[in-house]
């Protein structure tokens, strides 16, 4: 409330500071989004030209035709997020509390795959998982896969690919929240006769919740729209909604339906995120700040 007494120039500073970011957001997010929204309500074909006709059926037809791929996308993204969490939490915990002088080296190891582009990493997996490859061979020998079992072009390969590609997005936020955790809080819990397990459940886990929430969002959102893993590690039967949108844009050139599907995807993800944050409690995301004040 003391803002009123400050000179005008001081009050304008926050706006000025937000300017570049806001401009970026408008130019590269809001304006494209507007054109996409417009496109999603057009009708016609490439040959006859597209006309803006408030064609709401693009949405309903798109959803009813491609419901299978929508559901598949959310299942794959959800499973991949869960697996990534199960792998990432112990990893981040170990690095944060047991890493010692190796901390930076271990963190570097987590990020290192990012020095190779996404596409190359995924294509490399096609060689690793190929039918004549070592992985498939071993799994066949130990009987996990049948004699003509394969990994490529199966849901397993696609989910594994997504998990692998987004794992660092899960590890880093969890690590960040664990790293900031004051070890004296755990000592205090133990001084108050808490077992290690209870200390973890009552102190460590709640305090790392912001990292878990951030990590799951950073993994789930891009994973649900991913199409690279399904192209290279899957087949037509594993195609996700991203593949459908890509196909409609590039091969069928049905731009309106593709735009409508993109909006449906955005809306569903947004709804899921809102529900998730409600469920996880908004303090999970804000927890750090509140503590700081």
Residues that bind another protein (CB under 8 A): 1, 3, 14-15, 18, 22, 25-26, 30-31, 34-35, 38-39, 42, 44-50, 52, 69, 126-127, 130-133, 148, 150, 152-153, 234-239, 243-244, 246-255, 289-290, 293
Give one DSSP letter per residue of 136-190, joined into a string.
HHHHHHTTSS-TT--STTSHHHHHHHHHHHHHHHHHHHHHHHHHTS-HHHHHHHH
What are the φ/ψ torsions at residue 203 (nearest 5 degrees)? Answer: -115, -60
How far is 166 from 172, CA to CA, in rounded Å? Answer: 11
Q: Smaller CB distance to another protein: residue 101 or 251?
A: 251
What are the φ/ψ torsions at residue 42 (nearest 5 degrees)? Answer: -95, 165
Q: Smaller CB distance to another protein: residue 11 or 98?
A: 11
Contacts of 200 (CB under 8 A, 6+ apart): none
Q: Smaller CB distance to another protein: residue 30 or 116?
A: 30
Q: Smaller CB distance to another protein: residue 50 or 97?
A: 50
Q: Smaller CB distance to another protein: residue 127 or 196?
A: 127
Q: Shortest gap between Cβ of 196 and another protein (angstroms)?
A: 33
Q: Shortest gap between Cβ of 90 and another protein (angstroms)?
A: 33
Q: Smaller CB distance to another protein: residue 85 or 254?
A: 254
Q: Smaller CB distance to another protein: residue 30 or 109?
A: 30
Q: CA 107 → CA 28, 138, 177, distances in Å?
A: 32, 30, 14
Q: Shortest gap between Cβ of 200 and another protein (angstroms)?
A: 28
- Residue 171 in contact with residue 92, Cβ under 8 Å? yes
Q: Shortest gap between Cβ of 237 and another protein (angstroms)?
A: 6
Q: Shortest gap between Cβ of 57 and another protein (angstroms)?
A: 16
Q: Shortest gap between Cβ of 273 and another protein (angstroms)?
A: 19
Q: Smaller CB distance to another protein: residue 152 or 223?
A: 152
Q: Shortest gap between Cβ of 157 and another protein (angstroms)?
A: 11
Say whether 42 sits in a helix, a strand or coil.
strand
Residue 156: how many other CB atoms lie within 10 Å: 16
Q: CA 42 → CA 36, 107, 245, 268, distances in Å?
A: 10, 48, 16, 22
Q: Shortest gap between Cβ of 91 and another protein (angstroms)?
A: 31
Q: CA 126 → CA 47, 155, 222, 223, distances in Å?
A: 38, 14, 21, 19
Q: How many CA atoms lie within 13 A of 240 on its CB side?
A: 29
């Amino acid at each position: 409330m003391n803002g009123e007494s400050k000179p005008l120039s001081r009050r304008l500073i926050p706006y000025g500071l937000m300017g570049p970011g806001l401009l970026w957001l408008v130019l590269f997010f809001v304006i494209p989004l507007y054109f996409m929204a417009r496109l999603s309500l057009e009708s016609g074909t490439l040959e006859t030209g597209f006309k803006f006709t408030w064609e709401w059926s693009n949405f309903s037809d798109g959803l009813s035709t491609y419901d299978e791929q929508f559901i598949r996308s959310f299942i794959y993204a959800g499973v991949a997020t869960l697996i990534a969490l199960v792998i990432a939490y112990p990893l981040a915990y170990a690095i944060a509390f047991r890493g010692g002088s190796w901390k930076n080296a271990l963190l570097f190891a987590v990020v290192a795959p990012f020095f190779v582009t996404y596409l190359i990493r995924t294509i490399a997996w096609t060689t690793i998982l190929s039918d004549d490859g070592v992985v498939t061979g071993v799994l066949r020998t130990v009987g996990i896969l049948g004699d003509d079992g394969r990994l490529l072009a199966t849901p397993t390969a696609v989910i594994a690919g997504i998990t692998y590609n987004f794992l660092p997005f899960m590890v880093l936020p969890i690590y960040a929240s664990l790293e900031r955790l004051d070890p004296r809080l755990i000592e205090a819990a133990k001084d108050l006769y808490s077992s290690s397990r209870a200390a973890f459940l009552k102190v460590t886990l709640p305090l790392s919740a912001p990292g878990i929430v951030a990590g799951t969002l950073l993994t789930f959102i891009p994973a649900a729209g991913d199409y690279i893993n399904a192209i290279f590690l899957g087949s037509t039967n594993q195609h996700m909604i991203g593949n459908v949108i890509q196909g409609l844009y590039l091969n069928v050139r049905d731009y309106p339906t593709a735009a409508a599907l993109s909006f449906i995807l955005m809306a569903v993800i947004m709804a899921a995120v809102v529900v998730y944050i409600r469920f996880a409690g908004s303090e999970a995301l804000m927890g750090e700040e509140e503590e700081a004040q």
